[in-house]
Amino acid sequence: MDGSRTKPRTRIEIDGREFLLDGDRDLVDLMARIEAAARSEPTFVDISSRGGLVSVLVSPGARVVISVAHEGRDHDHAPPIPPIGDWDL
């Protein structure tokens, strides 16, 4: 099997803005930095995306979605799943 077919593709969405991350990015470290920023005063978090380096201001109210897909799999061509809205309690 060709190893390039299963290369992970990581996307991060912060407040509706989507970034495609570099493949060599340490995702666990990035998630920890986003969590720390969300627990503090608004803080910039650097994200190395395929489009270059981006600094995103993360605050406690930020909505962050991280997804990892493997290229070359059938589900890559499926329509995106709409985000789940906040529950009305």
pLDDT at 79 > cutoff 80: no
Q: What is the DSSP code (8-state) at residue 88?
A: -
Buried b (16+ CB within 10 A) or exposed e, 51-87: eeeeebebeeeeebeeeeeeeeeeeeeeeeeeeeeee
Q: Among all chains, which residue has been given the structure tokens 């390039």?
A: 4
pTM above 0.75, yes or no: no
Say which DSSP state 73 is in: S
pLDDT score recorded for residue 83: 59
Report, as an integer, the average pLDDT of 10-39.
87
Distance separating alpha carbons of residues 78 and 1, to the nearest angstrom: 22
Place of tokens 């340490």: 26
